[in-house]
């Protein structure tokens, strides 16, 4: 597995205590923008459990749904969004013991990321505090996370347990709808009607071929 020598790139969590709980709940709605069927969690002990930790704010302390690592302490989440996201903050909550994640590394726009890929430098890394109540937010460097279609979260270590357990991952930020489908349709329609532009499109091609 990869090493953990990124002291300079780590941030510190902060509790935004001046925010009312209801207001923070509205801010942590990005889970609705995840393409949940395509979300992957590598090294989860039970297939599909990684999807369960992206849940509503008012369920963040629910202990019924969680993901636990399998072969070792590492977990890797590959999170595709349905549009473009500006990621501003992240919350990671686990058990109040050694199984709680101790470090995360964030990568953007690397679909199908594997553990072999985690040897590369992350966009940002955080050393975590134990946070069983999901109160600590780790603010991202927004300039690096302003156009995210795919987010990978690598939990590289915990506080000393053989496996890692996560109850909640909260993502705060802004979402922009994707318009790629409309653009594709427009381009297709323009290309599908050469009769409207016989002189411009067909004639030059004929001359070039001959």
The distance of Cα 8 from the centroid of its chain, to the nearest Å, equals 22
Whole-model pTM? Answer: 0.76
Q: What share of the chain is helix, strand, coil (3-state, %, to 5)?
A: 30, 35, 35
pLDDT of residue 209: 42
pLDDT of residue 178: 80
CB 55 within 8 A of CB 36: no
Domain range list for the chain:
21-177
Residues 144-158: tens digit of each pLDDT: 999 999 999 999 999
Spatial separation of the C-alpha atoms in residues 184 and 191, rounded to whole Å: 11
User: What's the token pair of residue 42?
Assistant: 């590598």
Spatial separation of the C-alpha atoms in residues 86 and 174, rounded to whole Å: 5
Question: Which CATH fold would you assign to the domain 21-177?
Answer: Jelly Rolls (2.60.120)
Which residue has better confidence, 4 or 180? 180
Spatial separation of the C-alpha atoms in residues 154 and 118, rounded to whole Å: 7
The average pLDDT across 73-77 equals 98
Which residue has better confidence, 170 or 197? 170
Spatial separation of the C-alpha atoms in residues 11 and 139, rounded to whole Å: 8
Spatial separation of the C-alpha atoms in residues 91 and 134, rounded to whole Å: 6
User: What's the token pair of residue 104?
Assistant: 């995360």
Count CB atoms within 10 A of the CB of residue 16.
14
Q: Above pLDDT 90, what percent of the chain? A: 71
Residues 6+ apart with CB under 8 A from 134: 60, 61, 91, 93, 167, 168, 170
Residues 177-205: tens digit of each pLDDT: 987 555 444 444 444 554 544 444 433 44
């Amino acid at each position: 597995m990869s090493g953990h020598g990124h002291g300079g790139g780590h941030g510190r969590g902060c509790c935004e205590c001046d925010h009312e709980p209801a207001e923070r709940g509205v801010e942590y709605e990005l889970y609705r923008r995840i393409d949940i069927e395509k979300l992957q969690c590598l090294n989860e002990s039970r297939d599909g459990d990684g999807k369960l930790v992206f849940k509503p704010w008012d369920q963040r302390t629910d202990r019924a749904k969680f993901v636990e690592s399998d072969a070792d302490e590492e977990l890797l989440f590959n999170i595709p969004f349905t549009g473009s996201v500006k990621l501003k903050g992240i919350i990671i909550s686990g058990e109040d013991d050694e199984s709680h994640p101790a470090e995360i590394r964030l990568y953007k726009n690397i679909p199908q990321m594997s553990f072999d890929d985690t040897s590369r430098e992350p966009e940002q890394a955080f050393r975590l505090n134990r946070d069983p109540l999901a109160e600590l937010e780790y603010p991202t460097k927004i300039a690096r996370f302003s156009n995210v279609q795919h987010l990978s979260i690598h939990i590289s270590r915990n506080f000393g347990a053989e496996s890692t357990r996560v109850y909640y991952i909260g993502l705060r930020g802004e979402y922009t709808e994707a318009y790629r489908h409309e653009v594709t349709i427009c381009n297709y329609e323009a290309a599908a009607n050469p009769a409207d532009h016989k002189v411009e499109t067909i004639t030059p091609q004929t001359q070039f071929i001959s």
